[in-house]
Structure 1
Amino acid sequence: MTRTLRCRALVLGAAVALTLTACGGNSDSAGSSANSKGLEKTVIKVGALPIPDAVSLYIANAKGFFKEEGLTVQPVVITGGAAAIPQVKSGALDISQTNYVSTFLAVSKGEKLKLVADMYQAGPNTFNIMVPKDSPIKTVADLKGKTVLVNNLRNVATLAVTTQLKVAGLTETDVKFAEKPFPQMGDALKSGQADACWITEPFITALQSAAGFRKLADTMTGETEDLPMAGWMATDGWAQKNPKTLAAFQRAVAKAQDLASSNRKEIEAMLPTYTKIDAKTASVITLGTYPSALSATRLQKVADLMLDYKYLSSPFDVKSIIAAPSNG
């Protein structure tokens, strides 16, 4: 998930609101509320990509869920989970969106990170391999010797495509992977720079409707069915230093995740406020799911898959990096 779904920021371009503060309250009133709840911090900066995955952050702000917890949350646009790691380490961000593949890779290399809340899980046709309408490529097996565009190399994109290559009797060395931001993939394929692309919404819908692109394969099937994709991270040090602030964030996000998972209209209404997805597109794009709690069992599936495909060199226990919600 290392620059993972990072270039998905480029996917949708700059957010309409680059820095959006939580609903209501000046710093003094927020500080008073925070102090009354015993929070360690009044205001926190949270990195997020302007894509559907992070919608709960904006729902929680708009609905006042953070305010109820005594928090003022300031979303800051990032370019990807891996790119945000230096920002959370430096303190420029308190919490950030991340993808699980990037996080597990970083921790396996010594980074001290914690997953603090879940965000997004893939569903059918949310991450597809696509080709131009007149492409001679009809099956995944036809990709042998071809160039496949991904938003980043050696991450969830290449991992997902490789699982489909395996089903077709191929390996990752049978194709050439090349990096390209999601918004540029369609034009790159039409100009002959590559043969296929791994792409997500809203670009799946856009390429199908505007250019007649065809789906070659849904990469979230088989081994990757219902694959957990993205969550919220903090450094281990920050989580230990700010347990009550973290718990407040977790409660508000869980409430927003519950709302997103039970009422798609809430998502559709929110997307145009922080992305470049218009209301019409928001009403038809395919979405995954929004779990309200981190599950070690579900996330272990990602780590085990990474081990199987040699993205990790040794077994990885995801329970060790999950920051459990505080009862306080």
Structure 2
Amino acid sequence: MRSRIPAVVLGLALALSGCGGGDSPTPTAAGGTGLEKTTIKVGALPIPDPAALYIAQAKGFFKAEGLTVEPVTITGGAAALPQIESGALDISQTNYVSTILAAGQGKKIKLVADMYQAAPNTFTIMVPKDSPIRSVADLKGKVVLVNNLQNIATLAVTSQIKAAGLATDDVRYIEKPFPEMGNALNSGQGDAAWITEPFITANKNALGFRTIADTMTGATAEFPIAGWMASEDWAAKNPRTLAAFQRAIAKAQQLASSDRKEVEAILPTYTKIDAKTAAAIALGTFPTSLDAARLQKVADLMLEYGYLKSPVDVKSMIVPTTG
């Protein structure tokens, strides 16, 4: 017995040293210590869509994966694409129209997680309270403010003007960031604006704007809106980092999809939405997986409306979640 005691003691010491004692980082269940990058910059808009990013931060989901995420405010998915290509951003929020359009032009972009899907009254066309415009048909020859050209905004408005019997060139578009749309429209820089929450509620309450159309009806009902993108090169070079991000964001997305209160609680922390407004605004849904068949609907409508010159297979753009 005496001869075996040192071996037992040594075994216990080795076991204890593997339980977090000392300066070595403790591996997570997901293998977080094997990440290619432990700090990543992630682009996001100050709107409800990317709520899961901030839920994951607050709940420690990224930390549990060995990740430090630094959110960076962007103006739109299309605007973030050059930052993704240059490496200024590792991952970014994007709207699916901009991403699929970029892929159709040969850009090497990957979709890595889903984010947001339209619901009634979450994306509307609004006009000033004293505007003579009463319906989409009245937009002929008018200027509509959108956050980006040739993205989900223009596609959604196009679907409505076609349904109203107008031609695609009957309406002209001008870019304007969501936070500036209210004042821009009020000062006559446009005749109508394509607006999302929380700016729908804010402009209605502060400026008396009227909604003339819910753009997520008909061809765009329950339309996939936004997801997370990375460059093909970055995804290939950082598979474990990407998988860690996917796992953490999936946990947060599940919370957002199942409990509106989680979204209401997080919105005031990264947007200008106060708690009262967060409880009142219309929210879309938060899908928990990237469904290629559902996203193909976006590409097919883009092809129909002339945004794409040839079909795009969305499935080829998706990086599956692992682990």
Corresponding residue of 1:111: 107
Structure 1 residues 120 and 213, CA gap change in structure 2 (3 angstroms): same
Distance 1:229 1:54 in 2: 11
Q: Secondary structure at the match of 2:83?
A: helix
After TM superposition, give the deviation of residue 92 of structure 1 in Å.
2.3
Q: Contact 2:32/2:244 (CA < 8 Å) preserved in 1?
A: no
Q: 1:323 maps to what in 2? A: 319
Match of 1:89 in 2: 85
Q: Which residue of 2 aligns with 1:25?
A: none
Would the alpha carbon gap of residues 170 and 262 (structure 1) be closer, same or farther in structure 2, given more than 3 Å must change? same
- The answer as to whether partners of 2:26 and 2:33 remain within 8 angstroms in 1 is no
2:57 equivalent to 1:53: no
Aligned residues: 300
1:123 match: 119
In 1, the alpha carbon distance for the partners of 2:285 and 2:148 equals 23
**TM alignment of 1:227-246, pairs within 5 A:** 227-246=223-242
Match of 1:150 in 2: 146
Give yes or no for the alignment of 1:63 onto 2:76: no
How much has 1:318 moved relative to structure 2?
0.2
**CA contact 1:31–1:42 (8 Å) conserved in 2:** no
**Aligned partner letter, 2:162:** K
Which residue is 2:194 aligned to? 198
Segment drifting more, 145-154 vs 263-272: 145-154
Deviation string for 1:194-217 (max 9, x for gaps)?
Answer: 221111111111122222221100
Find out whether 1:248 has 2:263 as its counterpart.
Answer: no
Structure 1's unaligned 5+ residue stretches are 1-27
Q: Are 1:277 and 2:300 matched, yes or no?
A: no
Match status 1:290 vs 2:286: yes
Output one character per residue of 1:97-143: Cα deviation in whole Å (capped at 9) or x when no partner: 11111111111112111100001111111110111222222211111
Question: Which segments of structure 1 move beyond 3 Å, counting only runs of 4 or more?
Answer: 28-37
Query: Are residues 174 and 53 of structure 1, via their aligned partners in 2, closer, same or farther at CA, if it must alter by over 3 Å?
Result: same
Instruction: Work out whether 1:162 is the aligned partner of 2:158.
Output: yes
**How far is the alpha carbon of 1:189 from its aligned partner?**
2.9
Cα displacement (A) at 1:179: 2.1
2:35 counterpart SS class: coil
Distance 1:270 1:36, change over 3 A: closer
Residue 150 (structure 1) shift: 1.5
CA contact (8 A) 2:76 2:147 kept: no
Tell me how far apart the structure 2 counterparts of residues 142 and 91 of structure 1 sit (CA, whole Å): 44
Matched residue type, 1:66: F
1:182 maps to what in 2?
Answer: 178
* Deviation (angstroms), 1:193: 3.1
When the two structures are superposed, what TM-score results if normalisation uses the length of structure 2? 0.88
Taking structure 1 as the reference length, the TM-score comes to 0.86
SS at match of 2:213: strand
Tell me the CA shift for residue 82 of structure 1.
2.1
Question: SS at 2:157's partner residue?
Answer: helix
Q: 1:38 deviation in Å? A: 2.8
RMSD, aligned CA: 1.8
- Out of 206, 219, 222, the position equivalent to 2:218 is 222
- The answer as to whether partners of 2:31 and 2:65 remain within 8 angstroms in 1 is no
Alpha carbons of 1:29 and 1:57: their partners in 2 closer, same or farther (altered >3 Å)? farther
C-alpha distance in structure 1 between counterparts of 2:55 and 2:25, whole Å: 19
Residue matched to 1:268: 264
Q: 1:137 aligns with which of 109, 133, 136?
A: 133
Q: Secondary structure at the match of 1:267?
A: helix
Whichever residue aligns with residue 210 of structure 1, its letter is A
2:310 maps to which residue? Answer: 314
Query: Retained in 1: the 8 A contact 2:42–2:69?
Result: yes
Distance 1:245 1:183, change over 3 A: closer
Can you list the C-alpha shifts for 1:286-322, whole angstroms capped at 9, x where unaligned?
1101111101011101101110100000011000110
Q: Partners in 1 of 2:300 and 2:94 — Cα distance?
A: 18
- Residue 62 of structure 1 deviates from its aligned partner by 0.6
Q: Look up the equivalent residue of 2:76 and give its one-letter code.
A: G
Look up the match of 1:23: none
The residue type paired with residue 299 of structure 2 is A
Q: CA deviation at 1:29?
A: 6.8
- 1:272-296 superposed Cα distances (whole Å, 9 cap, x missing partner): 1111111121111111011111010
For the pair shown, which has the larger CA radius of gyration, 1 or 2?
2
Gaps of 5+ in 2: 1-22
Q: Distance in 2 between matches of 1:244 and 1:179?
A: 37
Q: Which residue of 2 aligns with 1:39?
A: 35
Q: Take 1:206 and 1:173, find their aligned partners in 2: how far apart are those partners?
A: 30
Partners of 2:184 and 2:73 lie apart in 1 by 26
